[in-house]
Amino acid sequence: MIYFAAAYLIVWAIFLSYGLILGGRLRRAERRIRSSR
Amino acid sequence: MPPRKGHGCSQGGQPAGWDSLAAMGIVAGVSMLVSLVLILFFAPLEKEMGIVQKIFYVHVASAFAAFTAFGLTFICSIAYLVRRSRAYDQVAASSVEVGLVFCTIVLLTGPIWARAAWGVWWTWDPRLTTTLVLWLIYVGYLLLRASAMRERRRAVAAVYGIIGFIDVPIVFMSIRWWRTIHPVVIELGGIGLSPRMKLVFFITLLAFFLWYLYLLMIRWRVAALEEEIDDLRKRRISEGSIP
């Protein structure tokens, strides 16, 4: 059970972390492009 | 669209807008949740390994998503060398980054499953070794993009993206070509799973594919915006408005 839980926690933690990083980069880029135009 | 001066390549296609991103996000997110619920409550327990076998669903689906990602990089790299369109280069680079996320999941869930099934976290088995090499190849791709000169970066990365893909069929075939302890689930005769396991497996494959597409759409938009910002900055420097 511990291995199963660890594997699924890792998968969702990676997706969440990458999603947050990507979302942050997207918001930052959108803001910079709006202020540059 | 005619080639843009100073870059030696055309703009090409455009990344998805906010509406498409939102729609894809809902579809992909719901698919991922459905697959998780099915894995937890619908997929039967395997007789020998029990619940640990359920790592299989995300492990294999992540591997297929990574292969798809690197396959798209391979196609877009060829397309870039032929057409010299920026869009192909942006998609190729974006797909590598998203593919690496899935490949990392493969390399982390694999050892957890191996520990439970074989009693070791890692062994230099052909499948494990070629997968680690695959991960290193595409980490190298990103490092190359970050370090190579801007003018030549796209072409050099495209050539690397084509050559690097050679490892994907090697990873897939490694358990068939060499002696290995890694299980072979997908064979020519079919998939060695019970009907309910097979159903959950295919739904998880689809969910991970949709999730990959969603992440790719966002990443491509980020890449396109960042290049546009870079272009605007360069134009202002050349016009003298930025010292």
Q: Is the reported ipTM for this assembly greater than 0.90? A: yes
pLDDT at B152: 83
CB B65 within 8 A of CB B102: yes
Residue type, position B165, single letter: F
Over the stretch B103-118, which tens digit does the pLDDT of each residue have? Answer: 999 999 999 999 988 8
Question: Does position B239 have pLDDT exceeding 90, yes or no?
Answer: no
Distance CA B138, CA B153 (A): 15
Query: pLDDT over 90 for what percent of chain B?
Result: 63
Sign (positive/negative) of CA torsion B137, B140, B145, B149? negative
In order of B97, B111, B210, the CA distances from B143 in angstroms are 11, 26, 27
Domain boundaries, chain B: 25-40+51-184+195-230
Q: Do B233 and A6 touch (CB under 8 A)?
A: no
Quick one: pLDDT band at residue B133, thresholds 50, 70, 90? very high
A5 CA: distance to closest CA in chain B (Å): 9
* CB < 8 Å from B in window 1-37 of A: 1, 3-4, 6-8, 10-11, 14-15, 18-19, 22-23, 25-26, 29-30, 32-33, 36-37
Burial string for B19-42 (b: 16+ CB within 10 Å, else e) reads: eebeebbeebeebbeebbebbeee
A30 CA: distance to closest CA in chain B (Å): 7
Question: Does position B2 have pLDDT exceeding 50, yes or no?
Answer: no
CB B158 within 8 A of CB B207: no
Q: Lowest-confidence range among B63-67, B123-127, B211-215?
A: B123-127
State the DSSP H helix or E strand holding residue B186, giving kind and residue range, or none if neither: strand B186-187
Residue of higher predicted confidence among B202 and B19: B202
Q: Do A19 and B215 touch (CB under 8 A)?
A: yes
Q: Do A25 and B222 touch (CB under 8 A)?
A: yes
Residue of higher predicted confidence among B146 and B209: B209
Q: Do B105 and A8 touch (CB under 8 A)?
A: no
Mutual angle of helices B195-239 and B86-118, in 10-degree steps: 140
Phi then psi dihedrals of residue B190, to 5 deg: 135, -165
Residue type, position B223, single letter: A
Q: What angle do CA B144, B209, B88 make, to 5 degrees?
A: 40
CB-closest option in A3, A22, A29 to B112:
A3
Closest chain B residue by Cα to residue A22: B219
Quick one: pLDDT band at residue A35, thresholds 50, 70, 90? confident
- Running DSSP on this structure, what letter comes out for residue B46? B
pLDDT at B212: 97
For all residues of chain B together, what is the average pLDDT? 88
Averaged pLDDT, B8-26: 79
Tokens representing B63 are 């591997």
3-state class (DSSP) for residue B70? helix
Residue corresponding to tokens 């997908």: B186
CB B52 within 8 A of CB A4: yes
Quick one: pLDDT band at residue B15, thresholds 50, 70, 90? confident
pLDDT at B243: 56
Chain B positions touching A33 (Cβ under 8 A) are 225, 228-229, 232
pLDDT at B174: 87
Phi then psi dihedrals of residue B8, to 5 deg: 70, 15
Q: Do A3 and B233 touch (CB under 8 A)?
A: no
B240 CA: distance to closest CA in chain A (Å): 15
Averaged pLDDT, A1-13: 92
B232 CA: distance to closest CA in chain A (Å): 7
3-state class (DSSP) for residue B85? strand
Q: Do B55 and A4 touch (CB under 8 A)?
A: yes
Quick one: pLDDT band at residue B241, thresholds 50, 70, 90? low
Q: Lowest-confidence range among A10-14, B78-82, B85-89, B183-187?
A: B183-187
pLDDT at B11: 63
Q: Lowest-confidence range among A7-11, B155-159, B175-179?
A: B175-179
Question: Does position B225 have pLDDT exceeding 60, yes or no?
Answer: yes
Q: Do A36 and B232 touch (CB under 8 A)?
A: yes
Closest chain A residue by Cα to residue B228: A33
Quick one: pLDDT band at residue B14, thresholds 50, 70, 90? confident
Averaged pLDDT, B34-50: 90
